Amino acid sequence: MDEAYKKEKPKIVVVGAGLAGLTCAYRLFKAGIKCKVFEASERVGGRCFSIRDYFLDNQIAEHGGELIDSNHKEIKELTKEMGLKLENIGEIDKKEKNPFYFFNGQGYSCEEANKDWVSIYGKVKRDYEEVGYPTLYDKYTKRGYELDHISVRDWINESIPEGINSNFGRLLDVAYTVEYGGETNNQSALNIVYALGSGKKEVFNIFGESDKMYRIKGGNDGLVWRLYKSLPKGTVKFKTQLLSISKVKYDKYKLVFQSACKVASVLADIVVLAIPFSILKLSVNYDKANFSELKKIAINELVMGNNSKLNIQFSSRYWRKVNNDGLTYNNIGYQCSWEGSRGQLGNKGILVNYTGGKVGASYNNEEYIRQYVETFINRLDRVIPRRNSKWNGKAILDYWTGNPWTLGSYPYYKVGQYTKFAGIEGQSEGNCFFAGDQTSIDYQGCMNGAVESGERACREILEKIK
């Protein structure tokens, strides 16, 4: 036991009231330890933010994080603990399962994609097994180092006949641009090797074992609101932005916050930084926090994806009439779509146009939302005939790179970054702990990464003060 904490409970400050920060605060409270949470914006949840009372038929959509994988144990268990229900959207529409792919000016069928997948499966599996898991700055194999130092696009070109000029190569190129939010020539090849390598030979799943099967009934941010309401009143202070963190006498931390026109400092024994590194890098002075050099490199060099999300409501779910579940990938400009209204009541349907990389970054002006929608629909018409269904005028755009509290969608590793600093993000620095999906080794970029890292930070604190 640390001597400093024997006589009285330490003062703990959590910075960030997103899913990670609130999970950490909730777990601490359950363990009998109170903390103070400071949030720069006016609400809880961060990128976990549901859209209610806007779309017709009372349909709900998500501004940010939407889908949960079957193996996302931590968020599934926390959802149940909070008295909420998970919806298995994979079970809802068993008959409408087929994604539509459109490349090189024509349709590219699931059967063709499966055949092409089988032809490269041996190469994928060899790379996956030789790389080993995980690849970290202090733990990597020879093959892991090699693949970390080439890009996703390089890997596609060396692994698939005709590379990105083939239908299968273009499918993977677009899909991984969207999935990680960055151009594939910038991403570490390990991004695609780890995803594809976790899949099965018999059935092509574009992201391997990531099945995106679940969401929280009533909206994902119901979880953050339940967490918030489970904390003592006054725990979270809103509209209070962290300006600096410094290590001072007696191993305490001095945190300087700004709220409205007021600047004030807070002393803490223990700090949890549960904000994106993009914000830490550009908005917080941590020069005197005594962070390690490698931690500072990670904060400065880890990038955020340029994902944009356009939720559009139609008068009907016309895609189902052609045995499509709303999921499409293409290289004619809009990149990707899926249905956001699966399992919801009403005849109307919501399609999500999801983009990443340069295309995602181009959706950067709310004033042009009608133009974005019309361009998307005109291009989608080449992939799925619209028949008599119409856009009903309802649409919401989320350009996360322009959000001042995130400056991007979620993090991804560029070429060479796994072996350079992966794994340092979540390691504590003195009595400063780190949470957020950017600190999760297994679930980077996922809501489960936020929950898992918040719980990890809590465990580390309890171990420190027990």
pLDDT band, residue 2 (cuts 50/70/90): low
Q: Does pLDDT of 94 surpass 90?
A: no
pLDDT digits (tens, 9 = 90+) for 327-339: 999 999 999 999 9
Residues 325, 331, 333, 335: is their CA dihedral positive or negative?
positive
Dump pLDDT digits (tens) for 349-379. Answer: 999 999 999 999 999 999 999 999 999 999 9
CA distance 434 to 30: 19
Q: Is the pLDDT of residue 6 over 90?
A: no
* Cα 315 to Cα 309, 318, 455, distances in angstroms: 20, 9, 42
Give the domain ranges of the chain: 3-47+221-290+429-465, 113-197
DSSP string, 243-310: EEEEE-GGG-EEEEEEETTEEEEEEESEEEE-S-HHHHHHH-B-TTS---HHHHHHHHH-EE---EEE
What CATH number does the domain located at 3-47+221-290+429-465 have? Answer: 3.50.50.60
Would you state the pLDDT for residue 97?
72
Mean pLDDT computed over 247-258: 97
Q: Does the pLDDT of residue 91 top 90, yes or no? A: no
Give the pTM.
0.96
- For 300-319, what is the mean pLDDT? 98
The answer on pLDDT for 1 being more than 50 is no
CB 400 within 8 A of CB 279: no
**CATH number assigned to the domain covering 113-197:** 1.10.405.10
Query: Residue 336 and residue 86: Cα distance in Å, rounded?
Result: 25
What pLDDT digit, counting tens, does each position of 45-87 carry? 999 999 999 999 999 999 999 999 999 999 999 999 999 999 9
Residues listed for the chain: 466
> What span, in angstroms and rounded, lies between the C-alpha atoms of 173 and 170?
5
Instruction: Please work out, in degrees rounded to the nearest 5, the angle formed at the alpha carbon of residue 209 by the alpha carbons of 208 and 212.
Output: 105
Q: Is the pLDDT of residue 5 over 80?
A: no
pLDDT, average across residues 386-405:
95
In angstroms, the CA 458 to CA 435 distance is 9
DSSP 10: P
Q: Alpha-carbon Rg of the chain, whole angstroms?
A: 23
Per-residue pLDDT band for 386 (boundaries 50, 70, 90) equals: confident
Mean pLDDT of the chain: 96
Read off the pLDDT of residues 262-302 as tens digits, 9 standing for 90 and up. 999 999 999 999 999 999 999 999 999 999 999 999 999 99
pLDDT-based confidence at residue 236 (cuts at 50, 70, 90)? very high
